Amino acid sequence: MMERWSPLAELDRIVSEMNRLLGETIERGRLLPRAFVSRPATDVYDTPEAVVIKLAVPGARPDDLEVTLEQNTVTVRGRYGYALSEEEAKRATWYRREIGTGQFAESIVLPAPVDAEHAQATVENGIVTLTFPKAEQARVKRIAVQAGQPRSS
């Protein structure tokens, strides 16, 4: 027996299957694909002296973060959010829960060669700031223009 194809029925089947797959993934505690994982908002800019990276990582403390530099790629790994103490969690009744917690890893290709030996990393008020002084060869050098001798024809 032939069955007539229905786009709406097919869409409903796909949505149901996606809900089932996502539900199983979340229930089992597996990591979702990167598209569904929270990533810190990140700014990257440079000044004449340094390349600066800022990441918004609420609740992060210095010991929650790891920063590595390999060639010209910096990777920041860490934890964000907060956790209630076991005692407080037992007494809590949630009415709203929107602040996420978890782990992240973000890699950023630096736009200029840097001096890794003098790099600095700080965290304050939920903002991680990484400052990479530019390597001498990457810094803009100003060359003074001097008046030349008039040429004779």
Number of H helices, E strands in the chain: 2, 7
Token readout for 39 is 């990533």
Q: What is the pLDDT of residues 110-119, one digit of tens each?
A: 999 999 999 9
Take residue 93 and report the two structure tokens written for it: 């009744």
What's the pLDDT score for residue 36? 46
Burial label for 102, CB within 10 Å (0-12, 13-18, 19+), is exposed
Least confident span in 21-30, 81-90, 136-145: 21-30
Q: Where are the domains of the chain?
A: 37-138
Work out the percent of the chain whose per-residue pLDDT is above 70: 85
Alpha carbon 150 to its chain centroid, in Å, reads 57
Tell me the per-residue pLDDT of 78-116, one tens digit each, with 9 for 90 and over. 988 888 899 998 999 988 888 878 899 999 999 999 999
- Give SS3 for 87: helix
Write down the pLDDT at residue 3: 67
What is the rounded average pLDDT for all residues in the chain? 83
Architecture in CATH for domain 37-138: Sandwich (2.60)
Over residues 2-17, the pLDDT tens digits come to 667 777 778 888 888 8
The structure tokens listed for 47 are 């000044």
**101: nearest Cα among 118, 119, 89:** 89
Which has more confidence, 90 or 151?
Answer: 90
Cα torsion at 49, 55, 57, 61 (round to 10°)?
-20
The model carries a pTM of: 0.64
Sign of CA dihedral 17, 21, 22, 27: positive
Dist CA 52 CA 40 (whole Å): 15
